[in-house]
Amino acid sequence: MKNKIYIAFMLGLIGMGTLYGCGYSSYEESTIGTESTFEELDVDYTTNDDGTYTYKDNIYKYKIEVSGIEGESQAAFIILTNDEETSFEDISYSLKKAEASTGIPEFVVLGWY
């Protein structure tokens, strides 16, 4: 009788241990619902009557979203630009090199997610 109780108890512990590993990890819980959160920068731009955008006296024709892989995650930038073909790689490279320029910026990052 004691053996049957012991075996039932052990099987119960094994079953609970197996189910314990089926929950979300703390990493998964921390990323749920945050993957598409838009991070808006404090960029004061104006939408003009003709559909263009003005930022610091520079006029941009397009407001576009570019996306790609950054590290291990999917990322996207919302930008103002005059080149409709601006790629995610162009934005990512420019942000990484962070070079100071005195000319008109090729693009303005409004935010990312």
Structural domain span for residue 99: 33-112
Q: How many domains does the chain have?
A: 1
Is residue 35 predicted with pLDDT exceeding 60?
no
**Cα gap 37→33, rounded to integer Å:** 8
Is residue 110 predicted with pLDDT exceeding 80?
yes
**Cβ–Cβ < 8 Å for 105, 90:** no
pTM over cut 0.85: no
Percent of the chain with pLDDT over 70: 63
Residue 4 located in a structural domain: no
Distances (CA, A) of 78 to 7, 24, 73: 61, 31, 17
Region 66-79: what's the mean pLDDT? Answer: 90
Residue 63 located in a structural domain: yes
Residue 105 located in a structural domain: yes
Residue 37 located in a structural domain: yes
Residue 73 pairs in a beta bridge with 70
DSSP state of 105: -
Residue 5 located in a structural domain: no
